[in-house]
């Protein structure tokens, strides 16, 4: 019987599984229990729809999580086999309409490769800009690879919906990691009134001529994210943020808004498109919607006893699951194992030289 149960198979649950194995837990004693698995499509399963770009200017309390992720993704990449993992690096430029504190900028300089401040172009309504080498994630491919890796190690997987967190316990189970995302809203024994969904919509385009990521955090959040290991040279355009909304439909007015904002932020989407310089000339592969797992007050990473058993909660990442999730999961595993890894500065493993995007727009 499993001694460790991971409730949820989104990126947070899969990051948690990886770290448990990485830190010596026998995979045969781990079980993933989830209503949705990689390959499924549901508004209640956010991870496959994530743009999954890295973001430097997170809220300061989250820097420890993004730093741990940034400095340890190379180990995950190597464990998955290095090629076709759904993990890559790109140059990323971020603009914000507020000026980050000197303290935050000093923290970012300590761990982000090639980090520097940059001027804001006149066409962008922002007050500050930074540029650095970022990790990028192909969200559906990465979660698929993570699950296959875990199963290959001996982790058990059970597809079922759990009504109450205590239902995840078997007689020999020592701990349940609650990584249910928006599921925490209605999960018995949790029913977190602070948790809520924020609907997003993204436009996936064919753009092999785009070689970097770019984002604007202003009145509206706009992003252009290059997707690694994509056979169709995908670039993700977003975003939409609609609180308390589980609507799975996609809307033309949201798509038009996204295309207007992203082409203003990244004019080369049009000017360097060999098919033409109009918005209508962009090759749209698909339009998707997902519900991000937000939580008032931020993430919940804490240990409690439910029905005499240990539950470690690890959810509420919002739109930062890929960015902060490895650090969040490290802290959650630390809570159970009584160790501390998250805030420790780890030597980084360089898995590849800086990317050279020959012929692509930067």
Q: Please report, in range form, the residues annotated as the binding site.
A: 162, 180, 223, 292, 319
| Binding-site annotation: residue ranges for D-dopa | 223, 292, 319
The answer to whether 124 and 161 are in contact (CB under 8 A) is no
The answer to whether 289 and 154 are in contact (CB under 8 A) is no
DSSP string of 164-223, one letter each residue: BGGGG--TT--EEEE--GGGGGT-BTT--TTEEEEEEEEEEEE-TTB-SEEEEESSSEEE
Distance (Å, whole) CA 219 – CA 316: 22
Distance (Å, whole) CA 271 – CA 277: 5
Distance (Å, whole) CA 91 – CA 69: 17
| Binding-site annotation: residue ranges for FAD | 162, 180
- Distance between the two ends of the chain, CA-based, in angstroms? 52
The CA-atom distances, in angstroms, between 263 and each of 15, 128, 219, 237 are 33, 19, 17, 9
The answer to whether 168 and 162 are in contact (CB under 8 A) is yes
Phi and psi torsions of 340, nearest 5°:
-145, 115
Distance (Å, whole) CA 55 – CA 132: 10
Structure tokens at 203: 């436009």
The answer to whether 296 and 196 are in contact (CB under 8 A) is yes
The answer to whether 215 and 53 are in contact (CB under 8 A) is yes
∠ at Cα 201 (219, 276), nearest 5°? 90
Characterize the bridge pairing of strands 242-243 and 195-206: antiparallel
């Amino acid at each position: 019987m499993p001694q460790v149960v991971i409730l949820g198979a989104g990126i947070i649950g899969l990051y948690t599984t990886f770290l448990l194995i990485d830190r010596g837990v026998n995979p045969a004693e781990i079980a993933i229990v989830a209503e949705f698995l990689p390959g499924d499509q549901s508004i209640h399963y956010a991870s496959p729809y994530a743009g999954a770009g890295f973001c430097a200017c997170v809220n300061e309390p989250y820097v420890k999580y993004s730093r741990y992720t940034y400095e340890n993704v190379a180990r995950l990449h190597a464990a998955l086999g290095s090629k076709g993992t759904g993990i890559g690096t790109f140059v990323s430029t971020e603009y914000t309409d507020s000026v980050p504190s000197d303290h935050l900028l000093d923290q970012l300089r300590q761990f982000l490769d090639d980090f520097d401040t940059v001027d804001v172009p006149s066409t962008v309504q922002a007050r500050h800009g930074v540029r650095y080498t970022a990790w990028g994630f192909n969200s559906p491919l990465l979660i698929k690879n993570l699950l296959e890796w875990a199963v290959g190690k001996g982790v058990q997987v059970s597809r079922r919906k759990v009504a109450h967190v205590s239902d995840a316990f078997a007689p020999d189970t020592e701990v349940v990691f609650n990584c249910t995302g928006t599921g925490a809203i209605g999960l018995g024994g949790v029913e977190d009134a602070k948790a809520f969904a924020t609907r997003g919509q993204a436009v996936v385009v064919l753009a092999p001529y785009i070689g970097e990521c770019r984002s604007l955090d202003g009145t509206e959040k706009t992003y252009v994210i290059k997707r690694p290991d994509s056979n169709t040279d995908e670039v993700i355009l977003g975003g939409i943020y609609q609180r308390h909304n589980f609507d799975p439909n996609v809307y033309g007015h949201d798509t038009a808004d996204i295309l207007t904002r992203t082409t203003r932020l990244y004019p080369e989407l049009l000017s360097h498109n060999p098919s033409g310089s109009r918005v209508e000339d962009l090759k749209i592969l698909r339009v998707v919607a997902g519900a991000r797992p937000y939580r008032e007050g931020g993430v919940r990473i804490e240990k409690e006893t439910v029905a005499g058993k240990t539950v470690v909660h690890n959810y509420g990442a919002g739109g930062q699951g890929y960015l902060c999730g490895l650090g969040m999961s490290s802290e959650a595993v630390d809570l159970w194992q009584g160790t501390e890894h998250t805030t420790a500065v780890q030597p980084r493993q360089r898995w590849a030289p800086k990317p050279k995007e020959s012929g692509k727009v930067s």
